[in-house]
Amino acid sequence: MFNLERTFVAVKPDGVKRGLTGEVIRRFEEKGYKVIALKMLNVSKEQAQAHYAEHAGKPFYERLVKYIQSGPIAAMVLEGHHAIAGARHLMGKTDPIEAEVGTIRADFGLVKEYNIVHGSDSAESAQREIDIYFKPEELCGGWNNMAELVIERLQENEQLKG
């Protein structure tokens, strides 16, 4: 039933400075995703360039690379069922004006340049971004959270009945 994925998520400097770190983590946790790695850090130039390499050459690239270094980020790895698309669903579209109400970017963001949160957009990006910010031994996997345990128990009960 579960299609377990790992994704890289970060509260960007605007989100940290707005005091939204806890709120953002809360939304992912309440959904049922596991936080398997978490740290505050100041992004280095090398990390910033690697993170946003796909945008090199675009008009907003230089500003973006500077911006992500302008204050600490709260970097995390989330694990869960379809966590890559699911985390982006909770984040909402890049531009807060287009993001659905109830998403992080719609509820807290005003402009796309400062949209609170980052999330990987594919399995390849997730692996690449996790490797930029975390060492393998910093990932604390191998446990089930309450959402997974409840679903597993419900499945067991159905099999007992059937």
Which residues sit opposite 11 in a β-bridge? 74, 117
Least distance in angstroms from the C-beta of 94 to Mg ion:
7
Question: How far is residue 88 CA from its own chain's centroid?
Answer: 7
Q: Which does 62 bind (CB under 5 to 8 A by kind): ligand UDP, Mg ion, none?
A: none
Are the C-beta atoms of 60 and 113 separated by less than 8 Å? yes
| Subset of 103-162 contacting ligand UDP (CB under 6 A) | 112-113, 115, 118, 121
**In degrees rounded to 5, what are phi and psi of residue 104?**
-60, -45
Pattern of binders to ligand UDP over 43-82, x per CB under 6 A? -----------------x---x------------------
**In degrees rounded to 5, what are phi and psi of residue 75?**
-95, 140
Contacts 24+ apart (CB under 8 A), 100-106: 104/24, 104/27
Contact region with Mg ion (CB under 5 A), list: 6-14, 26-34, 60-68, 121-129: 121-129
Q: Which amino acids are annotated catalytic?
A: 118
Q: Which is nearer to ligand UDP, 106 or 148 (CB)?
A: 106
Residues that bind ligand UDP (CB under 6 A): 60, 64, 94, 112-113, 115, 118, 121
